[in-house]
Structure 1
Amino acid sequence: MSSKEPRGWGAGAVATTLVLVRHGVTKHTAAKAFSGGLGGDNPPLTQEGREQVMLTAEWLKPLAPSVSTVVTSPVLRTVETGEIVAGALGARLVEEPAFAEIEFGEWEGLTFGEVAQQFPDEMKTWMGATEVAPPGGESFDSAQARVLDGLSRVLEAHAGETVVVTSHVSPIKLIVAHALGAPIGGVFNMELSPASATVVSFFSDGRASMRLFNGLPVSRDHFAANTF
């Protein structure tokens, strides 16, 4: 077979699988407010958020034998999420700064409605241009560069493993867009629920495969069946 001919899925390639868990709700999540990384007020999980994560951690328990590491963003709500998940799986917790949420600058803590009223032109432009940042904040293009740097480090350090990553809406969407070879603007067309799990496998030959998107712990059957 020529090296240019396609090979079967998984043939001769090692898969590194990331289970990307969004943090549970905070006061900003409940209010549908912009909540960035370490540059914001860094709210903790609410009690509801902790309960959401506990359900997801219980749902992920069948993965415990194959997961030795939970990688977390350094932001408080994701660290708390990571601690709960790592405790349930008996895994160690390590931080990856590149997986922090986008910084929203002057929009931090404001709802979408408030931003639309106070920054109408800026918000309209931001919604259609990934290179544009909120005032004092960070653009999706800039965030993509650091998130993919972090992804490369994790894939290198954990080649062939299954790793849980506790992160935020924007970094998870950016990783999914990268895995699918989709335009970065696709982040505006994805929705992730609090404490949801998204599963992506990256293969050593350069391919990637999304196995699950925005999964919620209605049933543990998917994970128990070890289908990824």
Structure 2
Amino acid sequence: MPLRVTFVAAARSAPLLAERFDDDRPLDRSGWDEVQRAAGELLPLAGAELRYCSPTPRSRATGDVLGYTPLVQPALRDCDMGRWRGLTLGEAMAREPAAVDAWLADPRATPHGGESLLAFISRVGGWLDTRPAQDGGRIVAVAEPGVVRAALVYALKAPPASYWNIDVRPLSTTTVTGRAGRWNLRFDGVSAQPSRA
């Protein structure tokens, strides 16, 4: 049986346009409320054999509120944004427009002095590839949306630039199945029943 890894995107700690690079802020009140509302759907994932989370306060809190008691995984930290840490994209663009353009255009670029997009995707993919896979098993990992995007790009062997085209909403789930070097995206939805005429 293949290994099944379900990523749960951490609840939000700020409005989307106020999100900051390497954001270490805890969940705000609306984030806590979002987790409470989604708990009914996400609680069954607590039955996974292994439960992990990103080291950010909001990822840990999301996992704890959902009853996962996740183990913190440093490899699941968000992209190291160097001197842009704590800035919004708009603030970084206002300070260093050419550097932001270079970073967005080239997955190997590190104008901020941190980690390149390619290195980030490779780090997250390396974590995914080293998960234990004895006769299948289920893993749940609560992570920042950027980490989930990086995992998907890696799992699908997609070009790094596709990272910018993946939208991961807070508390959404994404599942990949397989084993090291061979991953498949799995959609878990309710299938439509044929209509009776």
Category of TM-score, reference length = shorter chain: 0.7 to 0.9
Q: Deviations over 1:23-57 (max 9, x none)?
A: 11113x54433331xxx6x1101111122223333
2:18 is aligned with 1:32: yes
The 1:174–1:153 alpha-carbon spacing in structure 2 relative to 1, beyond 3 Å, is: same
Which residue number corresponds to residue 165 of structure 2?
189
- Alignment partners' CA distance in 2, 1:149 and 1:119: 31
After TM superposition, the structure 1 = structure 2 runs for residues 59-74 of structure 1, keeping only pairs within 5 Å, are 59-64=41-46, 66-74=47-55
What SS class does the counterpart of residue 60 from structure 2 fall into? helix
CA contact (8 A) 1:34 1:104 kept: no
Q: Which residue of 2 aligns with 1:99?
A: 76
Aligned to 2:184: 209
Give the AA of the match of 1:208: W
Q: Which residue identity does 1:70 align to in structure 2?
A: R
Q: What is the aligned-residue RMSD (CA, Å)?
A: 2.4
Count of matched residue positions in the alignment of Structure 1 and Structure 2: 191
Give, as a single letter, the amino acid of the residue that structure 1 aligns with 2:182. R
Q: Distance in 1 between matches of 2:179 and 2:85?
A: 37
User: What's the counterpart of residue 79 of structure 1?
Assistant: 60
Distance 1:74 1:103, change over 3 A: same
* 2: CA distance, partners of 1:46 / 1:33: 12
Tell me which amino acid in the other structure corresponds to 1:201: T
TM-score of the aligned structures, taking structure 1 as reference length: 0.74
TM-score normalised to structure 2 length: 0.85
Q: Which amino acid aligns with 1:22?
A: A
1:126 matched residue in structure 2: 103
**Residue correspondence of structure 1 range 102-121 to structure 2 within 5 A:** 102-121=79-98
SS at match of 1:163: strand
Offset of residue 22 of structure 1: 1.1
- Hey, what does 1:6 align to over in structure 2? none
1:16 aligns with 2:6: no
Return the alpha-carbon distance in structure 1 between the equivalents of residues 159 and 136 of structure 2.
27
CA contact (8 A) 2:108 2:119 kept: yes
Percent of counterpart pairs with the same letter?
A: 26
- Aligned amino acid, residue 187 of structure 1: Y
- What does the per-residue CA deviation read over 1:187-221, in whole Å, with 9 as the maximum and x for residues that have no partner? 011111112111111247x5322123xx9xxxxx7
Gap runs ≥5 in structure 2: 191-197
Asked whether the equivalents of residues 107 and 134 of structure 1 are also in contact (C-alpha less than 8 Å), the reply is no
Of 145, 165, 174, the match for 2:141? 165
Q: Residue in 2 aligned with 1:176?
A: 152
Aligned to 2:195: none
**Farther-moved stretch of structure 1 (185-194 vs 135-144):** 135-144
